[in-house]
């Protein structure tokens, strides 16, 4: 059971989603294709040939989904805006019908006492920008800033909390080096350039939001981070851990916090990032919080014949694994929060994603007793509470995800939701884990004397 007394009264509880994973309506109201619309149609790219064409149909069912959030009692909702819905060609005129959708969504959330956290880029790059070179091109970072200006100008009179870029690691390494995510490339040089421009886009977008929003903006980037450990005591494996840590963690956090790119990783890749002028200062533009997404630790062995960083993750012997094959390791989250704080001293840390996939099976009566996900939530929240008790400035926890959804290259088989979605009927059913999360939120409020009701949202 999580020790909720260790969390401050104004601790924020939330749920999170991403546009391509839930919205559907990929060709409605002026939206044009994203790189995920294109990638999902490559034979073999997505399990079962699934696409996000319909997903959870959130574009039409959002009132029902807000009602679910109210039922859960979550005071904050992190969602992403679909760039190809707002600026269909990536640059140029805004699509007013697309903006109107998010305008309605924000108004309804606020009316329900739920404070929105808007993510500008959660991987759905307009295909038109990809056709012009995508993230390996500097122009894409500049286009992100223009897009940020449009969205902040439209929503920044009500929205105060913003994420610029979600998980630049996935943009660069998984999308451009490993080829397992859109756009499906396998080129280290293009991956390094894509990563730099995603970070540059973050810095440019931070300034753009602050200039365009009509209310003071709280802004951060979100990184998916993992503690890394050697798979054996062999010197080669110990050395490989430093490369894995650099690839996963330091390559992103060092430049965000003014240290530039790690020299050991530039040597490992054999490629210099395409830094120009004051790029590093722009990337290190001060932000208000760091978003941390945590799912697993990495047990690492040397892999000299593999791809960069020549380090390979192996299964943890005897570990309990989720449906994704990821170890369930809650103490890794506490360790990670401590390490980030000691090394980088962010003003605040928000756990912007934490969740797990399990093979949920409804009972004949339609109940989903997902005991594994419930245990995952309790143990990871307890890890956050332990970090808070140790003085780590962690101020929120967003469960991934509100809904079962399109899980990228895994399609619809992997279910992360606190709410079950029957994709054939779009029927939503709160799982046992969702009810437990709601109880945790209530218990924390009652224990600490935090604000009452759905609007008792802490800083969100």
As annotated, the active-site residues are: 167, 353
Q: How many residues are present in the chain?
A: 460
* Contact by Cβ (8 Å): 158, 110: yes
Contact 255, 326 (CB under 8 A): no
Return d(Cα 90, Cα 173) in angstroms, integer: 22
The residues pairing with 116 across neighbouring beta strands, listed in sequence order, are 77
Cβ-contact 326, 380 below 8 angstroms: no
* Location of structure tokens 């892999």: 303
Q: Do residues 354 and 16 make contact, with C-beta atoms less than 8 angstroms apart?
A: no
Query: What Cα–Cα distance (Å) separates residue 279 from each residue in 82, 128, 256, 441, 446?
Result: 26, 25, 11, 41, 47
| Residue 188 burial (CB count, 10 A) | 17
C-alpha–C-alpha distance, residues 6 and 443, integer Å: 12
Q: For residues 114 and 455, what is the distance between their CA atoms, to the nearest angstrom?
A: 6
4 vs 168: CA distance, rounded Å: 32
State how far the Cα of 237 lies from the Cα of 299, in Å rounded to an integer: 10
DSSP output for 66-128? HHHHHHHT-SEEEEE--HHHHSTTSSSS--HHHHHHHHHHHHHHHHTT-EEEEEEESS--BHH
Token pair recorded at residue 226: 């993992």
Dihedrals phi, psi of 285, to nearest 5 degrees: -50, 130
**CB neighbourhood size of 138 (10 A):** 17
Residues paired with 222 in a beta bridge: 166, 291
- Mention every residue, 6+ apart, whose C-beta is less than 8 A from residue 261: 251, 254, 255, 273, 275
Phi, psi of 451 (to 5 degrees): -60, 145
């Amino acid at each position: 059971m999580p020790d909720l007394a260790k969390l401050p009264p104004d601790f924020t509880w939330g749920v999170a989603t991403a546009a391509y994973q839930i919205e559907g309506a990929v060709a409605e109201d002026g939206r044009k294709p994203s790189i995920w619309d294109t990638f999902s149609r490559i034979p073999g790219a997505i399990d079962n040939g699934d696409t996000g064409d319909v997903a959870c149909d959130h574009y039409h069912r959002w009132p029902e989904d807000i009602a679910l959030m109210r039922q859960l009692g979550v005071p904050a909702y992190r969602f992403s805006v679909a760039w190809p819905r707002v600026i269909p060609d990536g640059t140029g005129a805004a699509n007013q019908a697309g903006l109107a959708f998010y305008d309605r969504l924000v108004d309804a959330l606020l009316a329900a006492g739920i404070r929105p956290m808007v993510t500008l880029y959660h991987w759905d790059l307009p295909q038109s920008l990809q056709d012009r070179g995508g993230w390996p091109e500097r122009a894409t970072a500049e286009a992100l800033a223009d897009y940020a200006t449009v969205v902040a100008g439209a929503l920044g009179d009500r929205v105060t909390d913003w994420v610029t870029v979600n998980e630049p690691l996935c943009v660069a390494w998984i999308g451009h080096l490993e080829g397992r995510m859109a756009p499906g490339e396998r080129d280290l040089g293009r991956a390094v350039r894509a990563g730099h421009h995603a970070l540059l886009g973050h810095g440019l977008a931070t300034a753009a939001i602050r200039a365009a929003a009509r209310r003071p903006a709280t802004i951060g980037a979100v990184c998916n981070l993992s503690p890394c450990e050697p798979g054996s005591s062999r010197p080669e494996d110990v050395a490989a851990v430093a490369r894995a840590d650099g690839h996963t963690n330091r390559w992103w956090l060092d430049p965000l916090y003014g240290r530039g790119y790690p020299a050991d990783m530039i040597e490992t890749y054999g490629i210099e990032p395409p830094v120009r002028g004051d790029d590093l200062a722009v990337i290190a533009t001060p932000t208000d919080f760091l978003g941390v997404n945590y799912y697993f630790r990495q047990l690492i062995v040397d892999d000299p014949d593999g791809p960069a960083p020549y380090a390979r993750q192996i299964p943890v012997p005897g570990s309990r694994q989720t449906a994704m094959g990821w170890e369930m390791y809650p103490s890794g989250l506490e360790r990670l929060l401590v390490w980030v704080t000691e090394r980088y001293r962010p003003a605040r840390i928000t756990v912007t994603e934490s969740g797990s996939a399990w093979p949920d099976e409804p009972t004949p009566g339609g109940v989903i007793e997902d005991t594994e996900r419930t245990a995952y939530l309790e143990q990871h929240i307890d890890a956050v509470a332990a970090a808070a008790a140790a003085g780590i400035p962690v101020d929120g926890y967003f469960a991934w995800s509100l809904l079962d959804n399109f899980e990228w290259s895994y399609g619809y088989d992997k279910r992360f939701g606190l709410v079950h979605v029957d994709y054939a009927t779009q029927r939503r059913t709160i799982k046992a884990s969702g009810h437990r999360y709601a109880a945790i939120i209530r218990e924390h409020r009652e224990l600490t004397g935090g604000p009452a009701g759905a609007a008792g949202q802490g800083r969100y």
